[in-house]
Amino acid sequence: MARLELDSVGKAFGAVHCADGLSLVVEPGEIVAVFGPSGGGKTVLLRMIAGMFEPDDGDILVGGRSIVGAPPEQRGVGMAFQNFALFPHMSAQENIASGLRAKVGSGEVASRVTSISRLLKIEHVLGHMPRELSNGQKQRTALARALIGNPEVLLLDDPLRNVDAKLRYEMRLELPSLLRRSSAAVLYVTQDYREAMAIADRIAVLINGRLVQVGRPEEIYARPASVAVARLFGDPSINLAEVTPQAVQGALCAEIAGTRVLLESDERTPVDHGVCWLGVRPDDLVIARDFGEGAIPARIVAITPMHERAVLLLRFADGTEWLAALPPDAMVGSAEDSVFVRFAPDAALLFDRATGLRIGPQQRRQAA
Partner 1 sequence: MDHSSLAGRIFRGVALALVLVFFMFPIVWILLMSFQTNEQILRIPPHILFEPTLANYEALISGQLRTAAGNLEISFMRNLMNSFVLSSAAVLLALLLGVPAAYAFARFKFRLGESIAFTLLSFRFAPPLLVLLPLSLYYQELGLNDTYFGIVWVYQLIALPLILWIVRGYFEDISPDIEHAYRLAGHTWREAFTRIAVPLAGPGIAAAGLLSFIFCWNNFVFALILASADKQPVTVGALAFVTASGIQYGQIAAAIVLSVTPTLLLALYAQRYLVEGLSLGAVKG
Rule CB under 8 A: choose which of 73, 267, 308, 336 binds partner 1.
Answer: 73
Residues 140 to 169 in contact with partner 1, rule: CB under 8 A: 142, 145-146, 149
Decide: is 85 part of the binding site for partner 1 (CB under 8 A).
yes
Q: Which region among 8-16, 92-100, 159-167, 315-323 touches partner 1 (by CB under 8 A)?
A: 92-100
Decide: is 72 part of the binding site for partner 1 (CB under 8 A).
yes
Buried-state track 81-104, b at ≥16 Cβ within 10 A, e below 16 = bbebebeeeebbbbbbbebbeeee
| DSSP H/E element including 260 | strand 259-263
Rule CB under 8 A: choose which of 98, 191, 246, 269 binds partner 1.
Answer: 98
Whether 4 contacts 62, CB under 8 Å: yes
Decide: is 101 part of the binding site for partner 1 (CB under 8 A).
yes
Whether 26 contacts 71, CB under 8 Å: no
Q: How far apart are CA 35 and CA 190, in angstroms?
A: 5
- How crowded is residue 359: how many other Cβ atoms within 10 Å of its Cβ? 16
Q: Name the residue among 112, 137, 100 with its Cα closest to residue 122.
A: 137
Q: Which region among 25-33, 100-108, 230-238, 298-306 touches partner 1 (by CB under 8 A)?
A: 100-108
Nearer to partner 1, 75 or 342 (CB): 75
Rule CB under 8 A: choose which of 2, 60, 79, 254 binds partner 1.
Answer: 79
Query: Which DSSP category does 362 fall into?
Result: S
List CB contacts of 103: < 8 A, sequence separation 6 or more.
Answer: none
List CB contacts of 309: < 8 A, sequence separation 6 or more.
Answer: 325, 326, 327, 328
Q: Which region among 7-15, 138-146, 290-298, 337-345 touches partner 1 (by CB under 8 A)?
A: 138-146
Q: Which region among 97-105, 162-170, 190-198, 275-283 touches partner 1 (by CB under 8 A)?
A: 97-105
Q: Binding string, 6-45, against partner 1, x = CB under 8 A?
A: ----------------------------------------
Residues near partner 1 (CB under 8 A): 50-52, 71-73, 75, 77-79, 81, 83, 85-89, 98-102, 142, 145-146, 149
